[in-house]
Amino acid sequence: MSFQVFGIPVSRGVAIGRAVLVASGRVDVAHYFIEVGGVEAEVDRLLHARDVVAHELETLQRELPEDAPQELWALLDVHLMLLRDETLTGATKHWIIERHYNAEWALSAQLEVLARQFDEMEDEYLRERKADLEQVVERVLRALSRDPAAATSSHVAADVTARDFGGEDPLLLVAADIAPADMMQFKRSVFHGFITDIGGKTSHTAIVARSMDIPAVVGAREASRLIRQDDWVIIDGDVGAVIVNPSPIVLEEYRFRQRQSELERARLARLRHTPAVTLDSERVELLANIELPADAPAALMAGATGVGLFRSEFLFMNRDGELPGEDEQFEAYRAAVEAMKGMPVTIRTVDVGADKPLDRMSTSELRHEHVLNPALGLRAIRWCLAEPSMFRQQLRAIYRASAYGKVRLLVPMVAHLSELRMIHEALTRVRQQLTDSGHAFSHVEIGVMIEVPAAAMMLPLMLKHVDFISIGTNDLIQYTLAIDRADEAVAHLYDAWHPAVLQLIAQSISQAHAAGKGVSVCGEMAGDVAFTDLLLAMGLRSFSMHPSQIPAVKQRLLRADASRLASQLPEVLASEDPQQTAQALFSSARSPTAASLYKH
């Protein structure tokens, strides 16, 4: 039966494929792919964990006191029966062998299948056995987590395709939510689209999906409950629709849209070597946002003239609580700097907390389940200053990388001048340490992100202490409007066109120019063509975005007259409906074509 689910569109385009469910449970489950040569060992891990649990249950049975209720013995017998049933273990092996899931993921996938079968049973007694099944699976998952072989399991290679998983069909990931750490595991895998029950336009899942340039819908509420493993699914990333088991007519219509989208991408790719210059000869800098050094080649392929945001926190994830050392960080930063071939690389100091907790963040200050509002807690520069040894270690690694190219340092979530003073004290100490130890380094420009309204309002004071600023529109909107940007319940209130938000951005750009300091926008607004004219009108000449967004933004600015846009800005900022006013006014300052658009 065909049906539709609606959510929030966060990454444009159409994806068609088979659903792969990542079930959420009481036990945290790692999700990664196993290399072909590691499949047999992974099956052995599963069977070993099953045997361990069977032994535990049999021991419990034997050690039951004589006066124990007969029902307790019978319950353990039921658990043993479920554990040994081929519909659990045998089918779980299938997920490992055919899809190359790690054992934990395979087991949770099969639990999802069986749990739905129990839900559909008419007999109430049998339906209630689902709870027993969940308890058995939880025991096996805990046994797997104690298995030292898990630490040596080989993850799948980056160039794997759907064909390696037993079929030609594209795969679409469906989950209640996807942790940032898991998103990085999936980033170079086989998935052609994402669907999550929760999240907003600027939640981390949405941001990574856009960086992968694949369609995604978040905040789809019941999607992971309604969609079954291997269902045929269409993701319409333009309108936020998810179509499950579509009819042949609908399927063909969306396949046609896919082909049209591919043609448009090919056309935009021709702009790669075209200079980013407006119709009135204003040169614009188009930079890339990256998560890992391996993302740098994609930035160059898209025509980026540098990296405006290297999110260093992703070097700290998926490490079982162990933070990267100075040398490991240095090698990563140097790799990114060298890959950009002399172009500037802006490295943001580790920005964790809120939607990006680290494995080692087990204190109550940093775990979501213990914090009423993690976005307002110990995150970003606050956490760095609370961990001075870790912070100085990262700063040393960044400075050492500056010997290999142009490096700029960006600090997130600064809101107090006292924080700036502590940052400069740390930098002074780091430079002295490097000099004493004989490590080479070059001049590094220091910048701060404008994400907190307080920072925007006191910007003239901050500009005395930094070389440049970068406006992080995602958090600036969140904090200005008091909206959790990852919460789909208030997603409709997240409004980048809100007059207060636009005033803060325009004011920040103007004040940076007045002080002779560099300014860029690295939030999602920079890569959204709906805001290109507006940001040009505000005087912005440095945009930083995901590489996949660069061609469309470049096409937009090539057709724009920046001086005419600027003359219309006051009317837009004074409007009660800035979006409507901008659409009406800015269209006259944009040419539908430009003679130099498609130079090779």
- Best CA proximity match to 83, nearest among 51, 43, 61, 127: 51
Q: Has 384 been annotated as catalytic?
A: no
Ligand-binding annotation for 102, yes or no, is no
- Tokens (6 digits) for 559: 């057709």
The rounded Cα 330 to chain-centroid distance in angstroms is 23
Cβ within 8 Å of residue 59, ≥6 positions away: none
Burial of 31 (0-12, 13-18, 19+ CB in 10 A): buried
Tell me whether residue 222 is annotated as binding: no
Q: Cα separation of 424 and 414, whole Å?
A: 13
- Residue of 79, 384, 522, 546 marked active site: 522
Strands 8-11, 14-22: pairing is unpaired
DSSP class of 441: -
On whether 408 is known to bind a ligand per the annotation, the reply is no
579: exposed, middle or buried (Cβ count in 10 Å: 0-12, 13-18, 19+): middle
DSSP secondary structure code for residue 243 in this structure: E
Closest CA to 528 of 201, 291, 183, 242: 201
Q: Would you call 204 a catalytic residue per the annotation?
A: yes
485 in a known ligand binding site? yes
The dihedral built from the CA positions of residue 69, 70, 72 and 73, taken in this order, carries a sign that is: positive
Which of these is catalytic: 31, 100, 204, 546?
Answer: 204
Q: Are 353 and 378 in contact (CB under 8 A)?
A: yes
Q: What are 72-76's contacts with CB under 8 Å, separation 24+?
A: 75/132
- Other CB atoms within a 10 A radius of the CB of residue 588 amount to 10
348 has binding-site annotation: yes
Q: Which residues have a Cβ under 8 Å from the Cβ of 422 and sit 6 or more positions away? A: 385
Cα 416 from Cα 18, distance rounded (Å): 49
Q: Residues with catalytic annotation?
A: 204, 522
Binding-site residues for Mg(2+): 451, 475
Binding-site residues: 311, 348, 451, 474-475, 485
Binding-site residues for phosphoenolpyruvate: 311, 348, 474-475, 485
